[in-house]
Chains A and B, each alone.
Chain A
Amino acid sequence: MKGHHVTGKKNKRQYTGLLYIMPWILGFLIFQLYPFISSFIYSFTNYNMTSNIKFIGLKNYIDIFTKDSQFYNSLKVTIFYVFMAVPMKLVFAMFIAMVLNIRIKYVNFYRTVYYLPSILGGSVAVAVLWRFLFADNGLVNEILSFFGIPKIGWLSNPKIALFTVSLLTVWQFGSSMVIFLAGLKQIPKELYEAATVDGVSKAGMFFNITLPLLTPIILFNLVMQMIIAFQEFTGSFVITNGGPMKSTYLYAMKLYDEGFLFMKMGYASALSWILFIVIMIFTALIFRSSEYWAYYEDGRQ
């Protein structure tokens, strides 16, 4: 950072730094920036890998908004999914993190157990398992009927299937929990000691110390988890294949069908840009609103 070096040496060091990051610069240009821009361009074409590419203006977008009923359905399903899975996961993660943070022994043991599903959750194997567990005569329904509760169509009822798929996401709360735990450890103990001296109640401490100081982590988790959730694919593809009655037909599946099943690359590019804009809008809304609820000690960021 400081200019201690002689000018000539400094120049040399400048290029050295660029040399080290060169792989990333190339990778970024070829594998990220170029696809990013070209998907925008493709979205105005009828490209389908076989016939010649032709610019068709806004036709893809017009078709998507006026003719494609599955577009609205998948967008609706995805937004429902995001609004169901992400808050459930984060609230759960935060709650458990707070329980583990209060004078609990064997924290490491519990942390390990709760974290395990997070490393497996995205895999096909676990999606397969979900299909078995929540089948009409699967384990979950057997447990329910043991307690005299009637069977539930976890995967066969269009009103419930999406919830069952989001349970798979909630099951993976461990990674968010570890982040919250790390955040909780950062909160200075003196704050709680001072509050105890002042006679503040446990609830008061939670709302006036813990929650405000955790808001930056909540914000961060919320944004990242939301972006991931908008693109969820494996769960619905393997567990329900979008069904029953397209009730779990997530946007990523729609994108996959149009782009890689029907090879309508131009059309799918337009779909992907709509998804991008939707994600941007939600991210912007979260960041905007965070000015009112996220707390930064020195007022930065």
Chain B
Amino acid sequence: MMTRKKKSRRLIRITLIYIALTLLGIFMIYPLIWMFFSSFKSNNEIFGSLRLLPKQVIWDSFYRGWNSGQFTYGLFFKNTFLLVIPVVLFTLVSSTLVAYGFARFNFPLKGILFTVMISTLMLPNAVIIIPRYILFNRFGWLNSYKPFTVPSIFACHPFFIFMLVQFLRGLPRELDESATIDGCNSFVILVRIHIPLLKPALFSAAIFQFIWTWNDFFNSLIYINSVKKYTISLALRMSLDTAAAANWNEILAMSTLAILPCVLIFFFAQKYFVEGIATTGLKG
């Protein structure tokens, strides 16, 4: 039995831990909250002020930022979705097929191929980016979204293959065997039996791929060069470069909009994030 003194000391300690954790949380999130509120501030209030809420609310920074350039942000959002959604869908389909092959079949060189697949997780993108660029240039794919979509058709994201293999390995083999006896072929088994069970894993994969592709900057910068095809990342950087010294609130407003889809997905689908990372034990 704990003495009263010990108990109260424990209570104090726990309270301190909660306070520290909460402060850290505020500290972590505050920049984002500040960004949101600052997009309603006048430009000279963004710098040199501690206030979170604007003294004088500027309502049109979103409108002006949206329409600031030669093209509106509507186009840039549309472009980003046109790039991201096919990449996500192709990644899901191709990674599922490949993961199924690795998890459920035996074939020659399987061990070696699996090791190669896993080791490409560690292959630095920087090493292959130049020949890839030359290759895509030769294919005539520059300034299109093909450098993003075509590799995803060919399961070039080993992270997701690995993640789905891990999930598939957790499904009992008896399921496959009884279906085989019933005369189903392997593809029917995949579609009818595995995919419904894989739903949470597929959902995790979709979310991760969406966010990573949405946030991608380096590849977009290299492959896309006409403003008409710019994604959000490129558009933001362009606004930052071209902004006459006084348009800070517009840039913050557009930055807020740029992170909005990822934040929304995060809040509506949090549990899939944690499951996704925890089962693979990989980056994120």
Contact = CB atoms under 8 A, between A and B. Distances in A.
A230 B73 CA distance: 32
B49 interface: yes
A32 B120 contact: yes
A131 B35 CA distance: 11
Interface in B235-284: 236-237, 240, 248, 251-252, 254-256, 258-259, 262-263, 266-267, 270, 273-274, 277-278, 281-284
B154 A31 contact: yes
A116 B107 contact: no
Interface residues of A, number: 96
Interface in B82-106: 94, 97-98, 100-102, 104-106
Contacts of B151: 27, 31
Contacts of A138: 47
Contacts of B127: 35-36, 39, 272-273, 275-276
B278 A178 contact: yes
B50 A143 contact: yes
Given A36-B127, A112-B270, A275-B127, A125 B117 contact: no
Contacts of B191: none
Interface stretch (A67-75, A155-163, A231-239): A231-239
B83 to A, nearest CB: 14
B25 A113 contact: yes
Contacts of B50: 139, 142-143, 146
B153 interface: yes
Contacts of B240: 128, 131, 238
Interface stretch (A57-65, A221-229, A288-296): A221-229
Given A110-B21, A113-B25, A21 B124 contact: no
Contact of A24 (B35, B46, B98, B262): B98
B25 A110 contact: yes
Contacts of A85: none
A159 to B, nearest CB: 23
B122 A114 contact: no
Which of B24, B28, B32, B122 has the largest count of A CB atoms less than 10 A from its CB?
B28
B28 A171 contact: yes
Contacts of A129: 31-32, 35, 252, 255
Interface string A72-107: 000000000000000000000000100110011000
Contacts of B94: 23-24, 27
A135 interface: yes
A251 B124 CA distance: 13
Interface in B113-130: 113, 116-117, 120, 122-130
Contact of B130 (A15, A34, A39): A39
Contacts of A182: 277-278, 281
Interface stretch (B1-9, B55-63, B132-140, B198-206): B132-140
Contacts of A7: none
A272 B155 CA distance: 24
B141 to A, nearest CB: 12
A192 interface: no
Given A24-B154, A117-B28, A227-B122, A17 B128 contact: no
A181 B133 CA distance: 39
A276 B51 CA distance: 46
A183 B279 CA distance: 10
Contacts of B251: 128
Interface in B24-41: 24-25, 28-29, 31-32, 34-35, 38
A20 B101 contact: yes
B107 A233 contact: no
B154 A17 contact: no
A128 B255 contact: yes
Interface in A263-283: 265, 268-269, 272-273, 275-276, 279, 283
A1 B106 contact: yes
Contacts of B135: 30, 34-35
Given A233-B218, A275-B124, A142 B105 contact: no
B258 A28 contact: no
A124 interface: yes
B130 A259 contact: yes
B122 A179 contact: no
Given A39-B127, A125-B256, 16 more contacts: A17-B106, A18-B107, A20-B186, A28-B116, A35-B132, A39-B128, A99-B20, A111-B274, A116-B263, A120-B215, A124-B233, A125-B258, A132-B35, A182-B277, A182-B278, A233-B218
Interface of B: 14, 17-18, 20-21, 24-25, 28-29, 31-32, 34-35, 38, 46-50, 94, 97-98, 100-102, 104-108, 110, 113, 116-117, 120, 122-135, 137, 151, 153-156, 161, 186, 211-212, 214-218, 221-222, 232-234, 236-237, 240, 248, 251-252, 254-256, 258-259, 262-263, 266-267, 270, 273-274, 277-278, 281-284
